[in-house]
Structure 1
Amino acid sequence: MLLDCDMSQRLTEKHCFELQHGNYKLYHVVKSGGSSTIYQGEHIHLQHPVAVKVLNSWLASEEVTHKFWAEARLHASMRHPHIVRVLDCGVKGKLPFFVMDYAPHGTLQDYYVTGSKLPLSTLLPLVMQIASALQYLHERNLVHRDVKPSNLLIGPENQIWLSDFGITVAMQPWHPQHMQDSIGTALYAAPEQISGKPVTASDQYALAVLVYTWLCGQPPFSGSLVQLCQQHLYNEPPSLSKHLPQLAPAVEQVVLRALSKDPYQRFAHVLDFANALKQACTQPLAREEPVGPGL
């Protein structure tokens, strides 16, 4: 729902004024989640477009507020061309917020039409940028745990920005925790992440699910939360060549390796996966089977 004064169901001037957070004026909701809401806005003096993430009021307990600030501090510590920047932070009333660069072209979820297939020439630059951002995290001993199209923003020059570090964790000994918090988004969750033991290779698995989906026009697995978890844990993904008969065998081998159930059978680093995919794209296409009798 838009929150500016030009919407058909108009708000009062008082309501518009109340949507000012510190030096930032909020215009409309970009994304609404269970714990926070992201607005498009601008700096009231500089008139610079920004995205403002605000903790939802009904969740503003001491524990949740602490987690929100932890996310803000972690995110603000990152400096990478393919991670969206944190510019500022503040408190309005009792609600904390932080300010990020605004992505005018939305997310890869907006860009990708469900069921369509992306050519490798389009897919590869996306993968290289995402892998570069994830490699940066992994070198800092961090696991993102929620790599998916809606968390991949498209910047003003069509560059990709990784976002949403709300469930990012440092590699540490495993402790029991809420199942959904551990899984992230089940459609992209690696087997070990579903089991509550995410590692850096879990992000590589999620990126490989994205690659599979973009190439084939559908994800390797589908169904309910329980069905998805079972398939990620126990089922091998269907062959990519079933959907793309002309796909180079080397490309399929690279993607399926990154989708290995055992994280130690995947590539050593997520950037290795991206580079291997790039190299595989130079290999010959699969040959068509002869229609008539051979000689």
Structure 2
Amino acid sequence: MIDKHSLSREIEGYRLLSLLGHGNGSEIYLAEYASSHSPVAVKILPGHRAGDNLTRFFIHATRLKRLEHPYIVRVRAFGTQDDFTYLVMDYLPNGNLRERHPKGQVVESSTVVRYVRQVADAITYLHEQQLIHRDIKPHNMLINAQGNVLLSDFGISVVSHSLDPLAPQQHDFEGTVIYAAPEQLLGTPRRASDQYSLAVTIYEWLSGTWPFSGTFDELVEQHLHHMPPPLRTRNSALSPLIEQVVMKALAKSPEKRFPSMHDFAQAFTWAVEQSTPDRQTPRPTRQFRTPFSF
């Protein structure tokens, strides 16, 4: 999209330094603000936008710039130049959770709980802002200097105009098929789609492998019509409680998943705590419900 001879160029005062990565047709560059040399990440989105498409980009980017949450990467600026549009975001040099936990590595459930709490908190905030992320995966979970996980990459997020699950909006499929919910693959993403994607991620962390594998078409078929192998067939050390919570969030029908991301995170935390041999007996609260009473 931007050739190597253009890396010294400036984009609205930001000087591109090096390519950090790419995906979904976009490219992300390490850059610096020319006047202060402060590091930032610049995401270049492909395709010339004009008319209604450009208007939609500016409306959507404005919404993203207004997001302010401790577990969400801040969008600092946006604009259009030449034949592309761009987003300027905070730069986090400590990598992402895909790099920290390569495929095949099993992650301790106590560590997964910490990740889930932070990511679910960020997604809950997004949903409250009427946004659906649509690309929840370890690659989009960055690590800050304090070791916290920050959700990133909102280039394909969409506005959820209708909160009625029986009347979702129609969209072309965008995302990562390995982590995509059935309804998202059919072009009707909703908030529960982000829950499914997080559940796929948890499944991978706890077992070292994805629920499904194969070609793009094979993955679509499996997400739509096949239940994933029970989690404990991949990691027998896990408790039935943990398995039940994750498999509930992987239900084909959005209505059979947890009512919200918060409920899913609460249920998963409870299941892990109940499954820890040396846990302290939890003090019951009036508000608490078991994950299977929802």
Same fold (TM over 0.5): yes
Q: What amino acid is the match of 1:219?
A: W
Give the match for residue 48 of structure 1: 38
Give the match for residue 121 of structure 1: 110
SS at match of 2:69: coil
Matched, 1:168 2:157: yes
SS at match of 2:27: strand
2:183 to 192, 210, 227: 192
Equivalent pair of 1:3/1:29 in contact (CA under 8 Å): no
Q: What amino acid is the match of 1:24?
A: Y
Matched, 1:156 2:145: yes
Mapped partners of 1:3, 1:189: distance in 2 = 31
Equivalent pair of 2:27/2:43 in contact (CA under 8 Å): yes
Over 3 Å counting, the alpha-carbon distance change for 1:29 and 1:41 in structure 2 is same
Matched, 1:137 2:118: no
The Cα of 1:242 is off from its aligned counterpart by 1.3
After TM superposition, the structure 1 = structure 2 runs for residues 208-219 of structure 1, keeping only pairs within 5 Å, are 208-219=199-210
The Cα of 1:156 is off from its aligned counterpart by 2.6
Give the match for residue 38 of structure 1: 28
May I ask how many residue pairs the two structures share in their alignment? 271
The Cα of 1:233 is off from its aligned counterpart by 1.3
Q: What amino acid is the match of 1:185?
A: T
The Cα of 1:271 is off from its aligned counterpart by 1.4
Deviations 1:97-120 (A, max 9, x none): 331100101222222211110011
Q: Which stretch shows the higher mean deviation, 199-208 or 35-44?
A: 35-44
The Cα of 1:276 is off from its aligned counterpart by 1.0
Equivalent pair of 1:246/1:285 in contact (CA under 8 Å): no
The Cα of 1:66 is off from its aligned counterpart by 4.3
Equivalent pair of 2:49/2:84 in contact (CA under 8 Å): no
Give the match for residue 110 of structure 1: 99
TM-score by length of structure 1 reads 0.83
Give the match for residue 293 of structure 1: none
Equivalent pair of 2:32/2:38 in contact (CA under 8 Å): yes
SS at match of 2:214: coil
Give the match for residue 289 of structure 1: none
The Cα of 1:145 is off from its aligned counterpart by 1.2
The Cα of 1:285 is off from its aligned counterpart by 6.7
Deviations 1:200-250 (A, max 9, x none): 111101000000000000011111111111111111111111122121111
TM-score by length of structure 2 reads 0.83
Give the match for residue 291 of structure 1: none
SS at match of 1:109: helix
The RMSD of aligned alpha carbons is 2.4
Deviations 1:66-95 (A, max 9, x none): 454344222102111111101223444564
Matched, 1:78 2:67: yes
Matched, 1:246 2:237: yes
SS at match of 2:102: coil
Q: Structure 2: where are the runs of 5+ without partners?
A: 278-294
Deviations 1:24-59 (A, max 9, x none): 221101122454321101122222111112334xx2
Equivalent pair of 1:105/1:156 in contact (CA under 8 Å): yes
Q: What amino acid is the match of 1:46?
A: S
Over 3 Å counting, the alpha-carbon distance change for 1:52 and 1:144 in structure 2 is same
Equivalent pair of 2:7/2:18 in contact (CA under 8 Å): no
Equivalent pair of 2:200/2:211 in contact (CA under 8 Å): yes
After TM superposition, the structure 1 = structure 2 runs for residues 264-279 of structure 1, keeping only pairs within 5 Å, are 264-279=255-270
Q: Which stretch shows the higher mean deviation, 165-174 or 221-230?
A: 165-174
Over 3 Å counting, the alpha-carbon distance change for 1:16 and 1:131 in structure 2 is closer
